[in-house]
Amino acid sequence: RQESELGEYFGAGLYAREVDYLHREEWAQQAEDILWRRTKLGLFLSASQQARLHSYLQQNTAQASAVAL
Protein backbone atom coordinates (compact mmCIF):
# COMPACT_ATOMS: atom_id res chain seq x y z
CA ARG A 1 0.00 0.00 0.00
CA GLN A 2 0.95 3.58 -0.54
CA GLU A 3 1.43 5.82 2.47
CA SER A 4 -1.25 8.13 1.08
CA GLU A 5 -3.81 5.31 1.46
CA LEU A 6 -3.23 5.15 5.22
CA GLY A 7 -4.97 8.45 5.95
CA GLU A 8 -3.99 11.04 8.49
CA TYR A 9 -0.62 10.61 10.18
CA PHE A 10 -0.69 11.06 13.96
CA GLY A 11 3.01 10.39 14.60
CA ALA A 12 5.20 7.48 15.70
CA GLY A 13 4.03 5.36 12.76
CA LEU A 14 0.32 5.63 13.64
CA TYR A 15 -2.08 6.37 10.78
CA ALA A 16 -5.84 6.82 10.59
CA ARG A 17 -6.31 3.45 8.91
CA GLU A 18 -4.86 1.64 11.94
CA VAL A 19 -6.87 3.84 14.33
CA ASP A 20 -10.02 2.99 12.38
CA TYR A 21 -9.18 -0.72 12.58
CA LEU A 22 -8.53 -0.53 16.33
CA HIS A 23 -11.79 1.32 16.82
CA ARG A 24 -13.84 -1.06 14.67
CA GLU A 25 -12.26 -4.44 15.48
CA GLU A 26 -10.60 -3.96 18.87
CA TRP A 27 -13.30 -1.65 20.26
CA ALA A 28 -10.82 1.09 21.15
CA GLN A 29 -13.14 3.94 22.12
CA GLN A 30 -10.69 6.51 23.48
CA ALA A 31 -7.23 7.70 22.58
CA GLU A 32 -5.94 6.19 25.82
CA ASP A 33 -7.13 2.76 24.66
CA ILE A 34 -4.84 3.03 21.64
CA LEU A 35 -1.96 4.94 23.19
CA TRP A 36 -1.56 2.88 26.36
CA ARG A 37 -3.54 -0.35 26.20
CA ARG A 38 -3.24 -1.67 22.65
CA THR A 39 0.09 -0.01 21.94
CA LYS A 40 2.60 1.99 23.93
CA LEU A 41 2.66 4.84 21.41
CA GLY A 42 1.80 7.28 24.18
CA LEU A 43 5.49 7.15 25.01
CA PHE A 44 6.34 8.62 21.60
CA LEU A 45 3.53 11.01 20.64
CA SER A 46 3.65 14.62 21.76
CA ALA A 47 0.79 16.16 23.71
CA SER A 48 -0.49 17.87 20.55
CA GLN A 49 -0.36 14.61 18.58
CA GLN A 50 -2.26 12.83 21.35
CA ALA A 51 -4.84 15.63 21.38
CA ARG A 52 -5.30 15.29 17.61
CA LEU A 53 -5.84 11.53 17.97
CA HIS A 54 -8.40 12.21 20.71
CA SER A 55 -10.27 14.65 18.44
CA TYR A 56 -10.14 12.20 15.53
CA LEU A 57 -11.62 9.42 17.65
CA GLN A 58 -14.39 11.67 18.97
CA GLN A 59 -15.36 12.58 15.40
CA ASN A 60 -15.06 8.98 14.21
CA THR A 61 -17.12 7.64 17.11
CA ALA A 62 -19.84 10.23 16.55
CA GLN A 63 -20.02 9.38 12.84
CA ALA A 64 -20.14 5.63 13.50
CA SER A 65 -22.94 6.13 16.05
CA ALA A 66 -24.95 8.21 13.59
CA VAL A 67 -24.61 5.53 10.90
CA ALA A 68 -25.68 2.80 13.32
CA LEU A 69 -28.91 4.63 14.11
Amino acid (one-letter) located at 6: L
Residue among 34, 23, 31 at smallest CA distance from 68: 23
33-60 per-position pLDDT tens digit: 999 999 999 999 999 999 999 999 999 8
Q: How far apart are the first and last CA of the chain?
A: 32
- Dist CA 56 CA 17 (whole Å): 12
Q: Which of 19-23, 26-30, 52-56, 65-69 comes out lowest in average pLDDT?
A: 65-69
pTM: 0.84
